[in-house]
């Protein structure tokens, strides 16, 4: 697989790849033939273990620490990745943080941290990498946003704002860079169970999560990091060469479901159309 995959010979940088979705994206890129630079901001355990797994596939890999509250460190990450790989063909902007807090209680510092990490660092890292891509004919950028950019959830005004910004920025940047050989797209994941769920939600466990997802998500399950990783591979591959400026929603049907529907699994007892639509 590593010699003949969709990304054979490609060089990739995946941000926020020490855990969860980002780690799986980095691993899947390697399984599909790419050399990978991983990024982490705090603990290096997950990124370092992923590096070992990737090297075992015969691919080049390293992990670089960068605090995305600092533009200089984000730019430095890009420069180190370019130096290690000799250039970058694929950039996956996965790094991001979240917070839930009532709108009236949000502080300036909290607002700034989320926007710095989720959009400002991504913007200037992409600028750094795009300059390198242009030197060798182009490349692909995949930004990870969220369905929070499409639907509203209480206490997520700051987080949702950053994710909406990524969607708009993806669309605009794509039309500026496409003619220069750089394709830019995004993925908006829905519920994907990752380690943070267990840390942030009191009493969260796999059994209850599976039951909740079965009842709430049309596809009857939560997403897996691999679901997002495989889509990222496709968007960065030559097979997606005519896809530009799109945000692909990968949420098991969550945003497709009308919120007014109380139970989508059972046949409705309502009979709209009776008396004026034949056969109803």
User: 53: helix, coil or strand?
Assistant: helix
**Do 33 and 7 touch, CB atoms closer than 8 A?**
yes
Interatomic CA distance for residues 32 and 14, integer angstroms: 14
159, 169, 198, 276: which one is catalytic? Answer: 159
Residue 166: CA count within 13 A, CB half-sphere: 37
Tell me whether residue 197 is one of the annotated catalytic residues: no
Which helix (H) or strand (E) segment holds residue 12: the answer is: strand 11-14
Which helix (H) or strand (E) segment holds residue 122: the answer is: helix 121-135
Q: How many Cβ atoms from other residues are within 10 Å of residue 63's Cβ?
A: 20
Of residues 228, 109, 222, 122, the one with CA closest to residue 167: 122
Interatomic CA distance for residues 76 and 89, integer angstroms: 17
What's the CA angle centered on 96, arms 60 and 190, to 5 degrees?
100
Report CA Rg, the chain: 20
Of residues 232, 264, 255, the one with CA closest to residue 149: 255
Q: How many Cβ atoms from other residues are within 10 Å of residue 175's Cβ?
A: 11
- By annotation, the residues acting in catalysis are 159
């Amino acid at each position: 697989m590593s010699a003949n995959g969709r990304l054979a010979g490609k060089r990739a940088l995946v941000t926020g790849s020490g855990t969860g979705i980002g780690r799986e994206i980095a691993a899947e890129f390697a399984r599909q033939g790419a050399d990978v630079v991983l990024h982490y901001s705090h603990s290096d355990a997950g990124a370092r273990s992923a590096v070992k797994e990737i090297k075992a596939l015969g691919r080049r890999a390293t992990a670089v620490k960068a605090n995305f509250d600092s533009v200089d460190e984000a730019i430095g990450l890009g420069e180190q990745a370019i130096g290690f790989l000799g250039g970058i063909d694929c950039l996956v902007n996965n790094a991001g943080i979240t917070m839930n807090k009532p709108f009236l209680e949000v502080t300036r510092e909290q607002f700034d941290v989320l926007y710095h990490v989720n959009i400002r660092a991504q913007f200037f890292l992409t600028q750094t990498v795009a300059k390198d891509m242009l030197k060798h004919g182009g490349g692909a950028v995949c930004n990870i946003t969220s369905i929070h950019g499409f639907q509203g959830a209480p206490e997520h005004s700051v987080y949702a704002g950053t994710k909406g910004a990524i969607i708009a920025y993806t669309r605009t940047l794509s039309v500026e860079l496409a003619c220069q050989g750089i394709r830019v797209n995004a993925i908006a994941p829905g519920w994907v169970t990752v380690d943070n769920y267990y840390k942030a939600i009191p009493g969260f466990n796999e059994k209850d999560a599976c039951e909740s997802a079965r009842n709430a998500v049309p596809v009857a399950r939560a997403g897996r990091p691999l679901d997002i990783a495989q889509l990222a591979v496709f968007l960065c591959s030559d097979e997606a060469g005519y896809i530009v400026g799109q945000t692909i929603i990968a949420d098991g049907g969550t945003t497709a479901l009308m919120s007014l529907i109380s139970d989508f699994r059972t046949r409705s007892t309502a009979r709209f159309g009776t008396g004026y639509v034949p056969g109803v």
